[in-house]
Amino acid sequence: MTKTEPWRALPAGVADVMEPELDAITDEILATIAREVPEYARPLEGSFGRGVRTGVTEALRQFVELIRSPSGARGPGREVYVALGRGELRQGRTLDSLQSAYRVGARVAWR
């Protein structure tokens, strides 16, 4: 295992266990973000809600693929995160809250 790529230490079978639980993990991440990141403590509705849910879903999907194939090519997904950053800018916020949400999501996913 490397400190910067801890998923390399996970057996590929972990992906098979996680995959059917992705919807539940997504819901748990979204609820935790709403509790812990003040800027996200609002109903996840409209384009904001869709964007956040899409970001979490895409991150989890990519994580499962990293576990399954740690050296494999990473799929598309960058545009999701660029759109989230642009949304923060349009709302007049810095990227601090978005980065906090990323950290919360990663912590919950690792449980």
Q: What is the mean pLDDT of each run of 10 residues along the chain (111 residues)?
A: 74 90 94 91 82 88 87 71 87 89 89 77
**Domain hosting residue 91, numbered range:** 11-110
* Whole-number pLDDT of residue 16: 93
How far is CA 26 from its chain centroid?
8
* Whole-number pLDDT of residue 75: 64
Interacting residues of 47 by C-beta distance below 8 A, sequence separation 6+: 87
Question: 43 in a domain, yes or no?
Answer: yes
Structure tokens at 63: 């994580």
Tell me the pTM: 0.81
Closest CA to 104 of 35, 4, 17, 23: 35
* Whole-number pLDDT of residue 73: 64
